[in-house]
Chains A and B, each alone.
Chain A
Amino acid sequence: MRIEHWVYEIPLRLRSLFRRSRVEQELDEELQFHLDRKTEEYLAQGLTPAQARKAAVRAMDGLTQCKEECRESRGLTLIENAVQDIRYGLRVLRKSPGFTAVAVLTLALGIGANAVVFGILNGLILHPLNVPRSESLYSIERPVTFGEYQSYPDYVDLRDRNRSFDGLIAYSISEVGLDTGNNPVRAWLYDVSTNYSMSSACNRISAASSTPTMSMGRTALRISCSRTPIGTPIFRMIVE
């Protein structure tokens, strides 16, 4: 029943929307036909042509109003009004370029800031780290007054005497130049302690260097095992 209704309604609506001048012309013609007949009727009653014509229009409660009500019955005034409003808005904006520039800039900054904040929120809170039981993953830091970095021997002490966690890993981030055969590019270097592979994360990284690592969507390019100048065993991960 509903479908049959749409079979009639959709072509009519499309016609009203895309063949507007045709539909308008038909509306004119339809009402004109009625007005002419009505005028003839009043003429036969003895009115002058001008009076008869006026009376016929009055009987229709005004030609313009009648047309408007017919358009409303077709249910398109909403779309038409919206299109008109948009056109009007664009005209006004074109007239005052200064205001337009400020408005666009404000919107751009607002949307940009929102996108950044949401991006961070999305990465850190809505999509937590891609490791098992990431809710029990903690970061141990010292107050900044002691310097930003932990020393490696401190880490070793903490790791060996740890009874609160399954394990402790250490990492340090630095920037390196990476020669890819073309131009050298800037890359991030992660030095991590050898027990970094406590979870299977590190194995995953080694298995497919093009898959995102656990470090927020970055791609590991090269992983190597080596010792620092003071003999600390580390994994080195270069990520882009």
Chain B
Amino acid sequence: MSRPSDLVQGTLDLLLLKILALEPLNGWSISQRLKQVSGDVLQVSDGSLYPALHKLEQAGWIAAEWKASENNRRAKFYSLTRLGRRQLEKEAANWARLSDAISHVVQLEEA
């Protein structure tokens, strides 16, 4: 049970957009996928996952649709919109810039 502070601020949006760019998923599957792809390193609490999804939907980056899930129950599936794809590119580029810069700093050798 990790708190959102375990994630670098603002990266949750990027992670969600990236996961949904691969395929439309419901909230539960998103939480499973996050754990799976990050080798359990990135744990997003269920309590912060859903507000984040609703925020992304409100911003028009993802769209929701009710569909039958794997176990044949109605579930809300999220998919990336065209606007979301552009946002993902922007945030991914930002992240690359930021992590590059931090890596450089961390790898500085002592004189």
> Which A137-179 residues sit within 8 Å CB-CB of chain B?
none
Chain B residue at minimal CB-CB distance from A75: B58
Which residue of B54, B59, B63, B81 contacts A70 across the interface (Cβ within 8 Å)? B54
Binding site for B on A (CB under 8 A): 4-5, 7-9, 12-13, 26, 29-31, 33-34, 36-38, 58-62, 65-66, 69-70, 72-75
Chain A residue at minimal CB-CB distance from B62: A8
Given the interface contacts A66-B46, A69-B51, does A9 sit within 8 Å of B76 by beta carbon?
A: no
CA distance A61 to B44 in the complex (A): 12
Size category of the B interface is 20 to 34
Given the interface contacts A4-B83, A33-B69, does A69 sit within 8 Å of B47 by beta carbon?
A: yes
In the assembled complex, B94 has its CB within 8 A of some CB on chain A: no
Given the interface contacts A65-B47, A66-B47, does A30 sit within 8 Å of B58 by beta carbon?
A: no
Residue numbers in B under 8 Å from A8 (CB-CB): 59-60, 63, 81, 83
Residue numbers in B under 8 Å from A74 (CB-CB): 54, 58
Give the Cβ gap from B92 to chain A, nearest Cβ, in Å: 18
Give the Cβ gap from B10 to chain A, nearest Cβ, in Å: 15
> Which B40-76 residues sit within 8 Å CB-CB of chain A?
45-48, 50-52, 54-55, 57-60, 63, 66, 69, 73-76
CA distance A62 to B26 in the complex (A): 20
Which residue of A12, A31, A61 contacts B57 across the interface (Cβ within 8 Å)? A12
Residue numbers in B under 8 Å from A65 (CB-CB): 47
Given the interface contacts A30-B76, A33-B28, does A9 sit within 8 Å of B50 by beta carbon?
A: no
Residue numbers in A under 8 Å from B82 (CB-CB): 4
Which 7 residue pairs spanning A and B have beta carbons closest together? A8-B60, A61-B47, A69-B51, A73-B54, A73-B55, A60-B46, A73-B51
Give the Cβ gap from A214 to chain B, nearest Cβ, in Å: 60
Are B83 and A66 in touch, CB under 8 angstroms? no
CA distance A34 to B73 in the complex (A): 11
CA distance A5 to B59 in the complex (A): 7
Which residue of A4, A33, A61 contacts B73 across the interface (Cβ within 8 Å)? A33
CA distance A37 to B27 in the complex (A): 11
CA distance A58 to B47 in the complex (A): 9
Provide a sorted-by-A list of 22 A–B residue pairs whose CB atoms are within 8 angstroms. A4-B82, A5-B59, A7-B60, A8-B59, A8-B63, A8-B81, A9-B58, A26-B66, A30-B26, A30-B50, A30-B75, A33-B74, A33-B76, A36-B73, A37-B28, A38-B46, A61-B46, A61-B48, A66-B50, A69-B50, A72-B51, A74-B54
